[in-house]
Structure 1
Amino acid sequence: MFGSPRHNDSSPPRPIKVAVAAEQVLIAGAITTLLRSEQGIEVVADLMCGDETGRSPADMTVVTGDPSVLGKLHHSAGADVSHPVVAIAGAVPHHVVLGAIRQGCRAIVSDVAVDIELAQAVRAVAGGGVFLSPMMAGPLLDWLAAQLPIDQAPLLDAKLLLTGREQEVLKLLGAGRTNAGIAGVLVISEATVRTHVYRIQTKLGLQSRTEAVILGYQFRLGAAA
């Protein structure tokens, strides 16, 4: 036998290390229990209670309450403001969400869907991504769309180039409807909806569904005016 023997590294991947910062002990306990039930996630500290359960620094911190209190929680926990944060919150206005993002929040989970969204958010942030609860994405998208300058040319094109049914689909896109939702409202198949969306994007020169949603929101506003 020549050379060094090869060792098959079958060790499990490094767990995602999470610190919890909740102002109420019961809530902190519930979050910790939920996270520890997830494979590949390890709770290493309860920052508010000073309970260090692991020596390795956390990859991120999960906080609860209005995202606007992130600064306070960071200060009381002594955490690095560049440290990624996952916030669990109820319905909050757009300026609070944007403020939380500026303070280092990389994910916001709805407090009524924690059991479904929290692990997804933690894994998304650990992978370098972001997460925004679908329950908060709609209002934020509405606000962002309203801030954009409205170019009248695409709106005029939509009225001139799209059929009546395509205009209906465009408005429903602007209302945040999925293909299935549009199909249900118009009593047509999802395949037909996909065809309408494709034709809308092609006729108006839109590069993505997101552009169609934003234009649809503005088109709805114009139709209501």
Structure 2
Amino acid sequence: MIQTEMRPEATCPAPRLATRSIRLAIVEEDPLVRAGVSAIVQSHERIEVIDEVGLSWRGMTAAEWDVDVLLVGGEFLDDAFGKTLARRNGSRPETEVGLVAVLQADDAAMLRSAVMCSARGFVDRETSHLDIGRAVCEVYEGRTYVSSSIAETLVGWVARGVHRERLPVPQIEAALTERELQILEALGDGMSNTAIARRLHIQEATVRSHTYHILNKLNLSTRTEAVLAGYNYVHGIRLQGPDKRAQKPGKGPRYKA
């Protein structure tokens, strides 16, 4: 399998010394997955696993992330995580913590969340046993690493975004129900199905069903296109101001992201 690297030198921190171990923390909810990932990365001579945490990371302060790299399951990459990491790196830029995200290659919402959280490593769950060690080392050295399967998703995502005409806000609001608009906004904010279900207090199957209807009504082909349409929609209504997005005729107040 061809491995892919992207190296935006202008935005990367200076490379670090390679004479000591890379201090790594693993953030993953499933304890069996954590154990498996830990076994993989600890077989690498340069990597030392300092900590393994699940949901307990939410109780940690930014200062407690005293490691070189965080290896994080994509489902954790929400706004709260991004803000905590930004506070940590903002207060201690001389020891910036790098972020490697472990993702489903075809989950554009999770991929966008990783980008918004300033991840520099993007590893496909399906090939993580091959990619994780190299990704951690590359990010530690101030470079960017992308699994080839995720690179293909990124290229397709960008290409569709460039060539697809933006749908006007009134056209979207006329086509979708209130619940579908809520889900479209959440997709545009980079949320996964799990996160959307938690936010709206509905089942993931319901989220998938609404997403399917959104695709049909807006003549979109993939979830990636729905994420892009949602992003453009959210950007459009936020430019208009809160008074322009309050509700549709005959409907109650809309959910606000």
* Alignment match of 1:46 (pick from 44, 52, 73): 52
Whether 1:118 aligns to 2:132 is yes
Whether 1:17 aligns to 2:23 is yes
Query: What SS does the aligned partner of 1:23 have?
Result: coil
Query: Contact 1:21/1:73 (CA < 8 Å) preserved in 2?
Result: no
Query: Within 5 Å, which residues of 2 pair with 1:176-191?
Result: none
Larger-gyration structure (1/2): 1
Query: Contact 1:109/1:133 (CA < 8 Å) preserved in 2?
Result: yes
Task: Name structure 1 gaps, 5 residues minimum.
Answer: 1-11, 151-225
Whether 1:132 aligns to 2:146 is yes
Task: Name structure 2 gaps, 5 residues minimum.
Answer: 1-17, 58-63, 90-96, 165-257
Counterpart code for 1:94: A
* Alignment match of 2:114 (pick from 72, 75, 100): 100
CA RMSD of superposed structures (Å):
3.0
Shift of 1:21: 0.7
Shift of 1:45: 1.1
**Kindly tell me: are residues 90 and 62 of structure 1, through their superposed partners in 2, closer, same or farther at Cα, counting changes over 3 Å?**
same
Q: For 1:25 and 1:95, how far apart are their aligned partners in 2?
A: 24
Shift of 1:61: 0.7
Counterpart code for 1:45: D
Report the counterpart of residue 59 of structure 1 in structure 2: 68
Report the counterpart of residue 86 of structure 1 in structure 2: 100
Query: What SS does the aligned partner of 1:62 have?
Result: strand
Report the counterpart of residue 168 of structure 1 in structure 2: none
Deviations 1:175-217 (A, max 9, x none): xxxxxxxxxxxxxxxxxxxxxxxxxxxxxxxxxxxxxxxxxxx
Identity of aligned residues (%): 21
Deviations 1:137-163 (A, max 9, x none): 11220221233369xxxxxxxxxxxxx
After TM superposition, the score normalised by the length of structure 1 is: 0.51
Query: Contact 1:44/1:56 (CA < 8 Å) preserved in 2?
Result: no
* Alignment match of 1:71 (pick from 68, 75, 78): 78
Query: Contact 1:70/1:103 (CA < 8 Å) preserved in 2?
Result: yes
Query: What SS does the aligned partner of 1:146 have?
Result: helix
Report the counterpart of residue 92 of structure 2 in structure 1: none
Higher relative contact order (CA 8 A, sep 6+): 2
* Alignment match of 1:34 (pick from 16, 25, 40): 40
After TM superposition, the score normalised by the length of structure 2 is: 0.45
Query: What SS does the aligned partner of 2:100 have?
Result: strand
